[in-house]
Amino acid sequence: QTVVTQEPSFSVSPGGTVTLTCGLSSGSVSTDYYPSWYQQTPGQAPRTLIYRTNTRSSGVPHRFSGSILGNKAALTITGAQADDESDYYCMLYMGGGFSVFGGGTKLTVL
């Protein structure tokens, strides 16, 4: 069974840059997996940030960007703000209409 991996936690200073990654327990992530990223604050529904590797969803600030770095998908936040403190989930499309979420990364801004 394929597992989508993410760092459990990360911290960044206000104004700093942080890159979160999304990998596979076996193999490399490519654009074929349509990597997408979601932000979730406690008690709220997730919000789509990035889809299809690097396309920002409607209304998402430009400080959020997506890419492929090596064998993983990546979400970079440039100029982190206090309200970026959230859980971040990636999702990969496995083909055949089936997708899998990563375990999520808890980002602290301090």
Partner 1 sequence: QVQLQESGPGLVKPSETLSLTCTVSGYSITGGYYWGWIRQPPGRGLEWIGSIYHSGSTNYSPSLRSRVTISVDTSKNRFSLKLSSVTAADTAVYYCARAPDYGDYVWGQGRLVTVSS
What is the dihedral sign for C-alpha 20, 58, 16, 83? Answer: negative
State yes or no: residue 65 binds partner 1 (CB under 8 A).
no
C-alpha distances (whole Å) from 64 to each of 43, 46, 101 are 22, 15, 19
Q: Which of 2, 21, 19, 26 is nearest to 100 (CA)?
A: 2
Phi, psi of 88 (to 5 degrees): -120, 130
Compute how many residues bind partner 1; rule: CB under 8 A.
Answer: 26
Asked if 99 interacts with partner 1 (CB under 8 A), we say yes
Q: CB of residue 83 vs partner 1: minimum separation in angstroms? A: 18
Segment 40 to 59, residues that bind partner 1, using CB under 8 A? 40, 45-48, 51-52, 55, 57
By CB under 8 A, name the binding residues for partner 1: 1, 34-36, 38, 40, 45-48, 51-52, 55, 57, 89, 91, 93, 96-104
